[in-house]
Structure 1
Amino acid sequence: MGSMPIEEQQKMEKPLFSAEANSLQYAQSLDAKDHLRSFRSKFIIPSKTNIKSKTVSIPEDNDPAIYFCGNSLGLQPRAVAEYLQTHLNTWATIGVNGHFRKLEDSPMIQWQLLAEHAAEQAAPIVGALPSEVGIMGSLTMNLHLLMGSFYTPTAQKHKIILDWKSFPSDHFAIESQIRGHGYDPKDAMVMIGPDDGSYEVSTEKILSIIDEHASTTALLLLPGIQYYTGQYFDMKTITTYAQSKGLIVGWDLAHAAGNVLVQLHDWNVDFAVWCTYKYMNAGPGSIAGFYVHERHGKVEYVDDKPVFRHRLSGWYGGDQVGRMNMDNSFRPSPGASGYQVSNPSAVDLASLCAALSVFNATSMFDIRRKSVSLTAYLEHLLHLGPSDAFKIITPANPEARGTQLSILLKPGRIETLFDMLEEAGIVADKRKPDVIRVAPVPLYNTYEEVWRFVQIFNEALAKCEAK
């Protein structure tokens, strides 16, 4: 993370751009000074032909598409093919011994320890101790499993405070957990939304909602970054305040992990979950991660019987020393690994470890430094265009956003605009009816791509207005 405190790292000022900023040469000059410019070569960038193909094709290494959709699915690191082939060769040649035998020339360790190895590599990305991170399943599955431990409602305290526009999977998980405990979601789900006419939810409003419902609330569960607007919540302040009012605090880091600086351990967060297919680039539906603070992972023994926080237990959460004894006496591993439930997919872990090898070659501080600059450049160029044609609903403050900008268009423009972007080989995503999300990812996107995107975007807006 670098030597400076996390609070200082977070306070990266938005850069100022000169009067010549809206030129290809200026964008190329920024790329020439980019401290992460070599990382682009670590990824396979689809060509414009590839991205439009309707058949399986071989990746082309020319005329690259502009891929601004890392907030939905990150591009493939070149290391993935090597790691997956190594895994397949290991399976094919030594079979079950791959669980226990470390091969000297393999980029991975034996399968039995691969999840713990991935957790160790992922821990710096979310600001956690290695023992506080686990790798298993999917984000929603992990959310259910952790809520099985951390959502312990009573007749007096059974509410869950959540985001007004939480991602559907989170909303459904929360709703079903509440119903499963015999409570009514209409009463128990407290949704925090922005004030009328705004898209940003202030920290002050979140704290006021906590005050209002603290006596009847069991859990606060919010996204680190709101997927629709791209707002990055003040996790440290919110966590500290909610816990001071007696609430358990969990965070969904789907859009935050690998995107912004996070310090789960230092911020004393109780638990968190994240996927790995967005900014962490491990592949579609790839194996997910979770975090449990070390205080909740303690295992103590009284008369040789383990005492630990209740969780939905499974065989893979058992202490590695006795896991193979098969005696049906659950003795959990200390830390987050004690919350794992089953043998994780080695194929998924191979892909994740390959993606994490890219992060291991840099730091979240350096990634964030470019992200702040790259996103600010995109914002700057957009504001040079027609000001009445759209509105950026992502906060302007770089401390309150990641690399995503959400652009709210006038009604009826989105399909025409997207058709033009796709024709030009530009990939972003849309949230109907009128929002497009644009995410220039610092590990593989460039300032020149930002400049070229804005030129096409402005042309598309002009075409929409001419209709």
Structure 2
Amino acid sequence: MQFQSGLEFAQRMDREDPLASFRGQFSIPRTSDGAEEIYLCGNSLGLQPKLAREYVAQELDKWAELGVKGHFDCEHPWMPYHEFLTEAAASLVGANTDEVVMMNSLTVNLHLMMVTFFRPTETRFKIVIEDHAFPSDYYAVESQLRHHGIDPEEGLVLLKPREGEELLRQEDIETLLAAQGDSIALMLLPGVQYYTGQVLDFERVTRAAQALGIVVGFDLAHAVGNIPLQLHDWNVDFACWCTYKYLNSGPGSVAGCFVHRRHAENTGLNRFAGWWGHDKQTRFKMENRFTPIPTAEGWQLSNPPILSLAAIRASYDVFMQAGGMAPLRQKSEKLTGYLRFLLDTEVSEFIRVITPEDPQQRGCQLSLCCDAKHLSGRELFERLEAAGITSDWREPNVIRIAPVPLYNSFEDVFRFVQILKSACNE
């Protein structure tokens, strides 16, 4: 698409945007003078869908009016409530409905998956993650190694960019696998790398690793609701994600989990068990013999918090009203492409973008490094905050900007770059 400078172009793009009306379905924070913020931080915490307040209130009213009976004889009963989210969740990650479940939190789910899928032997005991993994993933993997009596110095393999580069190269991943594949048990990679915004080739990575007998899992925290996913078709073994970023479900909301059907149907797999993962037909016979549900639900532990699920259901309903990921991705490529165009034409002397330019290798997010000699990245971030821009700072030197197609506009992007330019020139 041929982008143009100037406010008139941005406003024309907004008038022609078939998804523009969805902005009105979200609560946008305001500055101290009452103006709407330019909120470009959906990669960290998505804005609140107005529908969430309605759905959560319904469950509070149900609790007040029905008490324990709210589990059964009413609209959206609590007992199967998580099932009301399954179809949308499966659609967003490219899965079958028996392969997904909403449960726990992201890192808890990663631990539960590693209990099942990281089964080290004397010769195959290593886990591969990227060098700049999100700290929680690093902690989880390191603690799993220690749990099995493996020194992380021996068992942790780090994928690193080449000297002087920011991004991982596919051929370097495959070279590492070829060199150490016989000793690697598990590869855990991000769907979107949180710091650089890079998207790897899921299918190619999965195929290369599995050909060597390596289990492949993904942390999709920054990917779900951001980029199109086809987890079943890519043959991914497992994946986990949170729902408070692009899925707009509220801080600390219940997470999601994918287990490929070929594993989910295998009730003999080792796992940590809890009663919500027990066969639904016999769960309330209260017998002490665990029978896993032969789907992803078999990894559930406890009944989930309904108020959080209600907020997730509200967000999923908005996604489905928008037509799912296809139209959102179409707008996202234009919106982030427009942002990249303006950064290159307006502030290239001060700002370096480390996120790949190819839309197939990125989602909404662009990661900006400040190269101005008179200004640090942190100082620039603080100037943006003071000017009504909500963005995201990550050490050591990145400002993350994520125009979200559900509620951000082309005018948001235009105004942001004008404010950024002014802040750089001060």
- Give the aligned partner of residue 37 of structure 1: 20
Alignment of 1:64-463 (within 5 A): 64-103=36-75, 109-299=76-266, 307-361=267-321, 362-410=323-371, 412-463=375-426
Q: Which amino acid aligns with 1:382?
A: L
One-letter code of the match for 2:361?
Answer: A
Aligned AA (1:369): Q
Deviations 1:317-362 (A, max 9, x none): 0111111110111111111001111111111111111111111112
Kept in 1, the 8 Å contact 2:37–2:388? The answer is yes
Q: Distance in 1 between matches of 2:316 and 2:291?
A: 30
Distance in 1 separating the partners of 2:8 and 2:383: 24
Query: Residue by residue, what CA displacement relative to the aligned partner does 1:412-437 show, whole Å, maximum 9, x if unpaired?
Result: 52233223212221100111232100
Letter in 2 for 1:438: I
Given that 2:378 and 2:397 are in contact with CA atoms closer than 8 Å, whether structure 1 keeps it comes out as no
Give, in whole Å, the separation in 1 of the partners of 2:85 and 2:340.
Answer: 35
* Amino acid corresponding to residue 272 of structure 2 in structure 1: L
**TM-score, with normalisation over the residues of structure 1?**
0.89
Q: Which runs of 5+ in 1 are unaligned?
A: 1-14, 51-61, 104-108, 300-306
Match of 1:16 in 2: 2
* Greater CA drift, 70-79 or 427-436: 427-436
The TM-score normalised by the length of structure 2 is 0.97
Structure 1 consecutive aligned stretches of length 4 or more whose deviation exceeds 6 Å: none
- C-alpha separation between the residues in 2 aligned to 1:314 and 1:394? 41
Letter matched to residue 342 of structure 1 = S
Paired with 2:268 and 2:73, the residues of 1 have a C-alpha distance of 31
Partner of 1:10: none
Identity %, equivalent residues: 47
CA distance in 2, matches of 1:275, 1:101: 30
Instruction: Give the letter for the 2:39 counterpart.
Output: Y
Q: Give SS of 2:80's match.
A: helix
For the 8 Å contact 1:126–1:264, the answer to whether it is kept is yes
Q: 2:31 aligns with which of 36, 48, 54?
A: 48
- Structure 2 counterpart of 1:38, one-letter code: S
* 8 Å contact kept, 1:318–1:332: yes
Change (3 A) 1:328 1:220: same
* Whole-angstrom distance in 1 between the partners of 2:358 and 2:46: 24
Which SS does the other structure have where 2:346 is aligned? coil
Secondary structure class of the residue paired with 1:348 = helix
Q: Take 1:414 and 1:197, find their aligned partners in 2: how far apart are those partners?
A: 19
Q: Name the SS of the counterpart of 2:257 in structure 1.
A: strand
- Root-mean-square deviation (Å): 1.2
**Using the alignment, how far apart are the partners of 1:174 and 1:402 within structure 2?**
25
Q: Which amino acid aligns with 2:227?
A: V
Deviation at 1:385, TM superposition (A): 2.1
Q: Give yes or no for contact 1:385–1:458 (8 Å, CA) kept in 2.
A: yes
Question: 1:416·1:460 contact (CA, 8 Å) conserved in 2?
Answer: no
Q: Secondary structure at the match of 1:360?
A: helix
Rounded to whole Å, the distance in 2 between the matches of 1:263 and 1:405 is 23
Aligned-partner Cα distance in 2 for 1:374–1:286: 27
How far is 1:121 from its partner?
2.0
Mapped to 1, the partners of 2:186 and 2:351 lie a distance apart of: 37
Mean CA deviation greater in 218-227 or 192-201: 192-201
Distance (whole Å) between structure 2 residues aligned to residue 33 and residue 212 of structure 1: 51
CA contact under 8 A between 1:259 and 1:368: conserved in structure 2?
yes
Give the Cα–Cα distance (whole angstroms) in 1 for the partners of residues 310 and 347 of structure 2.
46
CA contact 1:252–1:272 (8 Å) conserved in 2: yes
Give the Å deviation of 1:80.
0.6
Which residue number in structure 2 is paired with residue 53 of structure 1? Answer: none
Would the aligned equivalents of 1:417 and 1:461 in 2 still touch at CA under 8 Å? yes
Q: CA deviation at 1:368?
A: 0.5
Structure 2 portions without partners, runs of 5+: none
Cα displacement string for residues 211-230 of structure 1 (whole angstroms, at most 9, x for unaligned residues): 11110000010001100000
* SS of structure 2 residue aligned to 1:221: strand
Could you list the per-position Cα deviations for residues 59-94 of structure 1 after superposition, in whole angstroms to 9, with x for gaps in the alignment? xxx621100000000000000110010000011111
Structure 2 Cα separation of the partners of residues 351 and 359 of structure 1: 13
How far 1:308 moved relative to its partner? 2.1
Whether the 8 Å contact between 1:47 and 1:64 is mirrored in structure 2 is yes
**Alpha-carbon distance, 1:148 to partner:** 0.4
